Amino acid sequence: MLTALVGLTFSVAAQDEGKDKIPLDHFYVTPRQGSNFIRRALRNFHFGIYTGAGRSYLSTSLSGFGIYQAPGVRPELFINSATVRYTNWINNAAGDNTAPGSYTVANAGNNVRFKGHALNIPLAATVHYEYKQFRIGGGYSYELMSLGTFRPTIMADKIADMQAASSTGLVRKYWGMIGYSFYRWNDYLFTGDLQVGNYKMKNNYNAAQVTASTYFNIGVTIERDLSEYLKVFVRPAFELKSYGLAVAGSGSSLSYSNNMLMVNIGFTYSIPQLPKCVIKQCRAQVDHHHGNREYRSRVHPFYKKQNPGYGENYPGLKKY
């Protein structure tokens, strides 16, 4: 009984801590915490943009198809007989019913592949949330994609190179991302991350024929702080994806692997936890109080590094 009573007294005392019965302090104010709730919740969100360059590695097997090669033109594909042949079989496979002229049929089927490259230039917007070493987020991007020449892997002396009739288009992507920061080296933070998303090749690809896979993109983000709020990063990455191209009117389709090596370069920005000081004449360089509110400096640019102890805006002595 006595123990319970003592325990109760202590717990009541503990609850009352910080709430004085009479105002012991009537001169100094307690900083308000609640007013910055939204900013405190937002401070771990990072908004980013990036660009960069990628090299796509495209490859298709011609399993189930024959190759029709008239002299001096692009190779066409056929299924049973060369009277119906297909042109533009990289991004918009259409039938060609012109009478066959002189040709060679490379009945190579499973053995021959066509391989080609593309140049990809992305422009992306991202947002992610950081909790300790973990991050989760997503993004949206458009990529300019320019298809190069496709070459046969065998019989290159008999089969000509293939070129898409329309080589340049846009790729639209959106994705979810998870990441984990695993290493720091001086100013550089290394984070491994995985994007899983959806992509669609527009403009030069015939959307009705293309079935694009889910894509997986794994990379390492190497970040450097420019300031408390602004970071610059590079991100080498590898992307795994593929697409199928239904050949119009044939019931058959070609499957392409469409992997990519890429390097992104960009910035992330986070909304400052503290509002900017509202007093026009205030020259304070570091976080400071006016009344019961805390503010960040109004003279320190958001993109410049600063020491939280004294600021680094004017590093020279005033007499110089």
Instruction: Name the residue nearer to Zn ion (CB basis): 171 or 277.
Output: 277
Least Cβ distance, residue 56 to Zn ion (angstroms): 52
Q: How far apart are CA 296 and CA 316, in angstroms?
A: 22
Task: Compute CA 159 distance to the chain's CA centroid, rounded to the nearest angstrom.
Answer: 38
> Which stretch, 7-15, 41-49, 256-264, 269-277, contacts Zn ion (CB under 5 A)?
269-277
Q: Tokens in use for 304?
A: 């410049």
The per-residue DSSP string of 17-35 comes to: TT--SS-S-SSSPPPP-GG
Instruction: Name the residue nearer to Zn ion (CB basis): 231 or 296.
Output: 296
| Site size toward Zn ion, by CB under 5 A | 4
Q: How far apart are CA 64 and CA 80, in angstroms?
A: 9
> Which stretch, 40-48, 130-138, 243-251, 274-282, contacts Zn ion (CB under 5 A)?
274-282
In sequence order, the β-bridge partners of residue 239 are: 217, 260
Longest dimension (CA), the chain: 109
- Using the rule CB under 5 A, which residue among 82, 155, 222, 282 binds Zn ion? 282
Helix (H), strand (E) counts: the chain? 2, 17
> Which stretch, 35-43, 117-125, 197-205, 275-283, contacts Zn ion (CB under 5 A)?
275-283
CB 224 within 8 Å of CB 267: no
How far the first Cα of the chain sits from its last, in Å, is: 75
Least Cβ distance, residue 282 to Zn ion (angstroms): 3
Least Cβ distance, residue 293 to Zn ion (angstroms): 10
Instruction: Name the residue nearer to Zn ion (CB basis): 100 or 275.
Output: 275
Instruction: Name the residue nearer to Zn ion (CB basis): 46 or 296.
Output: 296
Name the strand (E) or helix (H) holding 60.
strand 45-61
- Angle value at C-alpha 8, between 6 and 11, nearest 5 degrees: 110
Least Cβ distance, residue 140 to Zn ion (angstroms): 38
Q: How far apart are CA 140 and CA 50, in angstroms?
A: 11
Place of tokens 């909790």: 131
Least Cβ distance, residue 287 to Zn ion (angstroms): 9
What dihedral angle (degrees, nearest 10) is formed by the CA atoms of 215, 263, 145, 195? 20
Q: Tokens in use for 223?
A: 């970040």
Q: Which residues contact 17 (CB under 8 A, 6 or more apart)?
A: none
Q: What does the per-residue mask of binding to Zn ion show for 228-257, with x meaning CB under 5 A?
A: ------------------------------
Least Cβ distance, residue 42 to Zn ion (angstroms): 22
For the segment 139-168, give every residue that binds Zn ion (CB under 5 A).
Answer: none
> Which stretch, 88-96, 106-114, 192-200, 281-289, contacts Zn ion (CB under 5 A)?
281-289
> Which stretch, 15-23, 74-82, 235-243, 283-291, contacts Zn ion (CB under 5 A)?
283-291
Instruction: Name the residue nearer to Zn ion (CB basis): 83 or 307.
Output: 307
Does 277 interact with Zn ion (rule: CB under 5 A)?
yes
Least Cβ distance, residue 279 to Zn ion (angstroms): 5
- Using the rule CB under 5 A, which residue among 94, 274, 284, 286 binds Zn ion? 284
Does 285 interact with Zn ion (rule: CB under 5 A)?
no
- Angle value at C-alpha 240, between 235 and 245, nearest 5 degrees: 135
Does 274 interact with Zn ion (rule: CB under 5 A)?
no
In sequence order, the β-bridge partners of residue 210 are: 245
Instruction: Name the residue nearer to Zn ion (CB basis): 51 or 292.
Output: 292
Q: Which residues bind Zn ion (CB under 5 A)?
A: 277, 279, 282, 284
